[in-house]
Structure 1
């Protein structure tokens, strides 16, 4: 019987989406500028920035996050997420620790990911690096 691939560790986490403010250039939410982030899920931040709703507060939690932190996690706009989200790799996803990932996981009482957490996760399942 073939081995069942391990799930991506982020699918049982969601800590980064409930720890950091997610800000990005306003054009990422402007369809006339080629933006793909749904503008209704964002709010103005500064003159050239927008923020994902829910992330610019004392206890951040992205409006697009469907998760029980540490149990399951799903981004409702993963294919249209802001570049700032795509730029944060999970620790050891690409062979190195990620300070942002580790900090978010520790803040939610989760251990930092280790290289072994990626055993069995096919390369095709890992998030592509941002372009």
Structure 2
């Protein structure tokens, strides 16, 4: 029996519209092996870049498609910066993430619930064939 896990990020996007997404500038320098498309970034300092739209008031990454709390996706997902790759949603690894919860609450969404115990009355549904 396998479990189908639905990534809650696909119906959220709150972190992309709450935090400044900054990273070491070489992540957007293809000549140095960077993969983040530079047209979606701006220089923050001599060593840091940021995703456009996330620096300043009312942050929202220019690469977030969709409305927060509804179906969303990152338009550069395979090329997203390390800060995005490392951000974990609450309970992704069995622990709450205060930063995820804070971003969700700021957008009127509840924190993600912790894992539900599996009991004989509530078995995990097998993967649909």
TM-score (structure 2 length as normaliser): 0.85
Match of 2:19 in 1: 20
* CA displacement at 1:75 relative to structure 2: 0.4
* CA displacement at 1:71 relative to structure 2: 1.1
Measured in 2, the distance between the counterparts of 1:9 and 1:48 equals 33
Quick check: 1:74 aligned with 2:73? yes
Measured in 1, the distance between the counterparts of 2:15 and 2:33 equals 26
* CA displacement at 1:17 relative to structure 2: 0.1
Match of 2:105 in 1: 106
Match of 1:87 in 2: 86
Match of 1:31 in 2: 30
Structure 1 stretches of at least 4 aligned residues deviating more than 4 Å after TM superposition: none
Q: Which has the larger radius of gyration?
A: 2
Q: Which runs of 5+ in 2 are unaligned?
A: 119-123, 125-129
Match of 2:7 in 1: 8
Measured in 2, the distance between the counterparts of 1:45 and 1:106 equals 27
Q: CA RMSD of the aligned region, Å?
A: 1.9
Measured in 2, the distance between the counterparts of 1:93 and 1:34 equals 29
Per-residue CA distance 1:55-94 (angstroms, 9 max, x = gap): 0020000000002111111001111111011111000011
* CA displacement at 1:4 relative to structure 2: 8.7
How many residues were matched structurally? 118
TM-score (structure 1 length as normaliser): 0.83
